[in-house]
Structure 1
Amino acid sequence: MAAIDQPNIAVVVVPFPAQGHLNQLLHLSRLISAYNVPVHVITTTTHGRQANTRIPLSLSTNIHFHHHTTPHFPSPPPDPTAATKFPTQLIPAFQSAMHLRQPFNDFLSTLSPSVKRMVVIYDYLMGTVVQDVILHANVEAYMFSSCSAFAGFWYRHEAAPLDDELAAILKELPTNEDCFSIEGYRFIASTDVSWKKFSSGTIFDASRVIEGKYLNLIEQVDYQDRQKLWALGPFNPVEITNDPNHKRHKLFDWLKKQTPDSVLYVSFGTTTSISNEQIQEIALGLEESKQKFIWVLRDADKGDIFDSEVRMIELPDQFEERVGENGLVVVDWVPQLEILSHRSTGGFMSHCGWNSCMESMTMGVPVAAWPMHSDQPHNAMLITNVLNIGIYVRDWTQRKELVSSKVVKEVVGRLMVSDEGVEMRKRAAELGNRIRRSMMDGGVARVELDSFVAHVSR
């Protein structure tokens, strides 16, 4: 990639404090900083610490964190028995982050006189924080949409003509019912600002290799005049290099002993809290499948992840003893991308958060889809019905039902050892190769990223 010679711009990134949103914009910061562009990340003190703990970017001297204290917020535990799985426990933290408006504006006032142009990239849920960009003549703002282009299109498809393929998808499209709690809907509504008044376009963590059709449709519906859509994904690294000075997680000692494509990775992300009854069924299903697995068994995040009180999750009696060397249960933070990139990993049981979807596709790993809330039902449909690189554990029509150990066992077997699973793994690997090639010099994703940096540096 070509570095920008003149330090005539600075990029200011304003992420939303949920881990999935933080993850995406921090990886984008890494990509932009590689062009010799200084990147400033504005966060709350609590979530800045969270970001640096989980996604260390210390190797980039061009990324600068600016942490600001915001009002104290309660940090209640997640409710594993809640009828709707949206992480309502995080809303107090989200509301506290809205107090970044003044520190953000003060920062712009301080830095903008020293550069030709300031480029603000903000999560769509942080629009109320950045709305004062209109007060600064040399500031250009770009909204970041954290969901897939597939989900983004179907949220507002009424304005687009539907061909036969789209009409068929519409018939099977999951409902939005139960995707958000009432509190979640209220919070999202409270952040709504008329972004087109101050944004020059929208950035997606999306690849035209994966979602070209849906990106084109969104452009037709929403992007004209001065507005532009930029598909700059995947944001996550596409090649994993192991730093010899970096202490690797102990699970890799076990993983490297396994045969290629033999291990199922099980993780439901940072915002899903699963009932004790469901955990028992998952455990028994994994055991009965006789397949190798790594199960990340962590409860959903609280608003402050450094609050030491954590739910103790119980497994069936002597589960780990019976499983023995056939599987690992991990309760701490793990480097998911490294696990998915490992030669021994052959499948991923996932909630289908967009980060996890992009990482699994980038690394060519097929998915056992188990959507929980938000955009996850749409992402799961993209993975299973559209791209055909995954199968459902439980589709959205069955969201109220307990998934039995028998179903878990059958799905794991289909994904890991059936002829169907082998073919799915081939398709996933081919897609992963195409995505990684797109990020090389001259690839479609790299060209679009080059174009974006050149545009904001003009």
Structure 2
Amino acid sequence: MASHNGDDMPPPSPPAAAEVVVVMVPFVAHGHLNQLFHLSRLISTNNIPVHFVSTTTHIRQLRSRHHDSSPLSAVHFHQFPTPPFTSPPANPSNRFPSHLQPAFESTLHLRQPVADLILSLSTTARRIAVVHDFLMSYVVQDVKTIPNAETYIFNPLSAFDSFWRTWEKQGRPFPVDPEMLKRIPSDEGTFSPEFVDFVNFQYPHVGSHVGELFDSSRVIEGEYLEYLEREELSDKKKIWAVMQSSHTHKSVVTVSENKNRHNCLQWLDLQPANSVIYVSFGTTTTFSNEQIKELAIGLERSQQRFIWVARAADIGDVFGGDAKIADLPVGYEERVEGRGLVVRGWAPQVEILAHSATGGFMSHCGWNSTTESISLGVPIATWPMHSDQPRNAFLITYVLRIGLMVNDWEHRDELVSSAVVEDVIRRLINSREGEEIQKTATALADTIRRSVAEGGECRKETESFISYISRQG
């Protein structure tokens, strides 16, 4: 049975006969959940009821990681149980988070409850727009049998990576820049064999969708979105770039302004502008003890200020037990005290990136982290792990030129030495090269800010999508 809100308050009731209702069906990896959650809030500001559907565990996980006060009166949460599964520990020898595969497989059980929910909503709405992660195509396959419902695929990866994968899959149907083709990282090893099977399992259920949405902007990836729109690749499907626009301004906060904020934000308040490198590798990365040691030493020897989120990778059920936390060298936190801050739990990433003291981001280059950093003008030290991350890193360093490479994909299985970590941090935070990268990143962020403002290109794209799902006939 669906639970709407997961708390004691009764759920807000949707209108008796809504014109248009949106149903969001995200994949359960945190980055994927996060993207459709933000899109839900964006759509709900247009007075369109949004129904957000996932497993009981992952709705709880999502809500526990979002503590802002944004109004959610038009977003209705539906959480469905799935059969129990075992969450194996993360394996540092696997770059891809294969330990999450049982959680991924558990989503297949959502097919019937999701179909029942959409069918129920369709009796009172003129149209149901089902926006689903590509990886939930199997789950939403029954929507095509509901006359007033239509599906839209949400692509959580960058358009840059999506283009290259699609172009290869379709047999390279048109020529592209040969220099780019020579330099772009291979997709070899970006997914585990089991995950490739899971992806391939979705393909037979794709094809009836109206169009695709990307959490992106034409300001960042316009050329590649245009490639994806070409008939050879799009099959005349519509494409919208609906980048989330809620965080596009750096903040300047005084110490006295808010004592209740996360301790890392209060620590940042005391640091000079653009002086701190933020180090975080997302929710799925697991490093070996040897690599953790090299990273720790590199940060220490760089003599630069830093915040390091040294948390363990998510397991299939983040409430199911304590995951192993990284072991740091003995006495490390005492030695870096005042200059470095180690955070071992969940950290407010957007607020950290938006802080005026943050001058760089050492990142795995997941697309959530990448767009947050780009839109806030924070240069990136790239260290990709899997999925679209190697090509996102290439986009950052080679195409957009707003970052430096820590480790490229060709050398992904090699230990990254403390000397490399030290060198990249110093170059990014404290060099003329870093200053030029910062100028480029700031200029791009300014362009994005204008694009999401009223009348801007990105705002118009979102309005186009809202207009399309609200169309008559």
TM range (shorter): over 0.9
TM superposition shift of 1:235: 5.5
CA contact (8 A) 2:245 2:452 kept: no
Q: Is the 8 A contact 2:311 2:344 kept in 1?
A: yes
1:345–1:23: structure 2 CA closer, same or farther, 3 Å change rule? same
1:171 alignment counterpart? 182
Q: Aligned residue for 2:154?
A: 144
For residue 67 of structure 1, report the CA deviation from its aligned partner.
0.4
Alignment match, 1:125: 135
Contact 1:13 1:120 (C-alpha < 8 Å) held by counterparts: yes
Residue by residue over 1:423-451, the C-alpha shift from the partner in whole angstroms, topping out at 9 and shown as x without a partner, is 00010011011111111100000011011
Matches within 5 A, 1:103-252: 103-157=113-167, 158-163=171-176, 166-196=177-207, 198-220=208-230, 221-225=232-236, 227-234=237-244, 237-239=247-249, 247-252=260-265
Structure 1 counterpart of 2:44, one-letter code: S
CA distance in 1, matches of 2:323, 2:392: 29
Flag the 1:245–1:307 CA change in 2: closer, same or farther, 3 A.
farther
Letter in 2 for 1:336: Q
Checking the alignment, whether the CA contact within 8 Å between 2:250 and 2:356 is kept in structure 1 is no
User: Which residue of the other structure, out of 60, 73, 77, is the alignment partner of 2:85?
Assistant: 73
Shifted more, 53-62 versus 304-313: the winner is: 53-62
- Superposition pairs for residues 354-373 of structure 1, below 5 Å? 354-373=367-386
Aligned residues: 447
One-letter amino acid of the counterpart of residue 446, structure 1: R
Q: Do 2:353 and 2:372's aligned partners in 1 also have CA atoms closer than 8 Å?
A: yes
Quick one: distance in 1 between partners of 2:157 and 2:25? 16
Contact kept in structure 2, 1:86 and 1:184, CA below 8 Å: no
- Residue 186 of structure 1 deviates from its aligned partner by 2.0
Report if aligned partners of 1:234, 1:362 keep a CA contact under 8 Å in 2: no
User: Residues of 2 paired with 1:119 and 1:356: CA distance?
Assistant: 27
Counterpart in 2 of 1:413?
426
C-alpha distance in structure 1 between counterparts of 2:426 and 2:411, whole Å: 20
Secondary structure of the corresponding residue to residue 211 of structure 1? helix
- Cα shift at 1:247: 4.0
CA distance in 1, matches of 2:107, 2:214: 22
What does 1:285-434 correspond to in 2, within 5 Å? 285-434=298-447
Do residues 61 (structure 1) and 82 (structure 2) align? no
State the one-letter code of the partner of 2:29.
A
Q: Which residue of 1 aligns with 2:466?
A: 453
How far did 1:252 drift? 1.1
In the alignment, the residues of structure 2 paired with residue 246 and residue 189 of structure 1 have an alpha-carbon distance, to the nearest angstrom, of: 49
Aligned to 2:107: 97
Output one character per residue of 1:61-96: Cα deviation in whole Å (capped at 9) or x when no partner: 00010000111111111112x2x3111111111111
For residues 327 and 111 of structure 1, the distance between their equivalents in structure 2, rounded to whole angstroms, comes to 51
Measure, in 2, the Cα distance between the counterparts of 1:86 and 1:246: 39
CA shift, 1:307, in A, is 1.7
> Is the Cα contact below 8 Å between 2:42 and 2:244 reproduced in 1?
no
How far 1:238 moved relative to its partner? 2.8
Specify the code of the residue in structure 2 equivalent to 1:219.
E
Equivalent residue for 1:253, pick from 266, 273, 278: 266
Tell me if structure 2 keeps the 8 A contact 1:91–1:187. Answer: no
Please report how far the alpha carbon of residue 237 of structure 1 lies from its aligned counterpart in structure 2 after TM superposition: 3.3
C-alpha displacement at 1:162, in angstroms? 2.8
How far apart in 2 are the matches of 1:303 and 1:246? 34
Cα 1:179–1:134 change in 2 (3 A) is same
Deviation, 1:312, is 3.3
The one-letter code of the counterpart of 2:398 is N
> How far apart are 1:341 and its partner, in Å?
0.7
1:11 aligns with 2:22: yes
TM-score scaled by length of structure 1: 0.94
Does structure 1 conserve the Cα–Cα contact (< 8 Å) formed by 2:325 and 2:344?
no
In structure 2, the residue corresponding to 1:36 is in which secondary structure?
coil
Aligned twin of 1:3: none
Amino acid of the residue matched to residue 424 of structure 1?
Answer: I
Matched-pair contact (CA < 8 Å) for 1:273–1:300: yes
TM-superposition CA deviations, 1:187-206 (whole Å, max 9, x none): 2222333411x200000011
| Aligned residue number for residue 44 of structure 1 | 55
Flag the 1:374–1:427 CA change in 2: closer, same or farther, 3 A. same
Cα RMSD of the aligned pairs, angstroms, is: 1.8
Contact persistence 2:313–2:323 (CA under 8 A): no
TM-score with structure 2 length normalisation?
A: 0.92
SS in structure 2 opposite 1:64? strand
- 1:283 equivalent among 293, 296, 305: 296
Tell me the amino acid that sits aligned with residue 71 of structure 1: P
Give the gaps of 5 or more residues in structure 1: 1-5
String of CA shifts for 1:381-401, please: whole Å, max 9, x gaps: 000000000111010111011
| Percent identity over paired residues | 50
- Residues 27 and 235 in structure 1, CA contact (< 8 A), matched pair in contact too: no
Corresponding residue SS for 2:362: strand
Match of 2:31 among 20, 34, 45: 20
Segments of 5+ residues of structure 2 without an aligned counterpart are 1-16
Q: Which moved more, 1:170-179 or 1:131-140?
A: 170-179
1:107-154 alpha-carbon deviations (Å, 9 max, x no partner): 012110101000000000000000101110000110011111110111
